[in-house]
Amino acid sequence: MKIQMLGVGVVASLAGLAGTAAVAAECAADTRNLFANRNCGFAKDIEGWTGVHEKSASHESSDGDPAKGALAGTDHQGSLRLQAPCIAVKPDTEYRIAVRLRIASGDLYVCGYTVYQADDAACENASDPLVADAQPPEKSWQQMTGETRTGATAKSVQLRLECSGEKSFRVLFDDVVFAAK
């Protein structure tokens, strides 16, 4: 499922999955990455990142890409949603999105991200999704990328990592980027 949203000057241009590890750079080293100081690589923990359902988010210290440490998502209902911290953005600005992911166990149909923008600084007045992308995940690390432009009144965004599949799946996320182009 790829969503391209038009309206209020919002245009989303999405790329698919690029499966090479060479594409991955340390997310915290990207000076334009708004998650660089918000635990984008999960090296020590998952502070600031939450699961919508209790116990659906945890830290995986022994895996990750390109470095050890990942956000693990587990759901026994066949769907999963993990939320990033709210981040401030500039209105009418182009951003690039990247996240690395892989299936840790179970059968998954699709994983991806949805970005909601808001006209307040706390992500409380979130509108319809700004951009979303989802693809069938694999057992090896792969990178999902995309691009978007914030609306004229955008002040903040919140990224949600989402998956669906058979009950009792586990997926890992790492190296999250939301950066001005």
pLDDT by residue (tens digit) across 42-95?
999 999 999 988 789 999 999 999 999 999 999 878 999 999 999 999 999 999
Cis peptide before 85 (omega within 30 of 0): no
pTM for the full model? 0.85
Whether residue 3 is predicted with pLDDT greater than 80 in this model: the reply is no
- Residue 41 and residue 62: Cα distance in Å, rounded? 13
Asked whether 151 and 9 are in contact (CB, 8 A), the reply is yes
Question: What is the average pLDDT score of the chain?
Answer: 86
Q: What is the 3-state secondary structure (H, E, C) of 59-117?
A: EECCCCCCCCCEEEEEECCCEEEEECCCEECCCCCEEEEEEEEEEEECCEEEEEEEEEE
Q: Which letter does DSSP use for residue 39 in this model?
A: T
Q: 64 is written with which tokens?
A: 């990750």
CA dihedral 113, 95, 150, 93 (to 10 degrees): 180
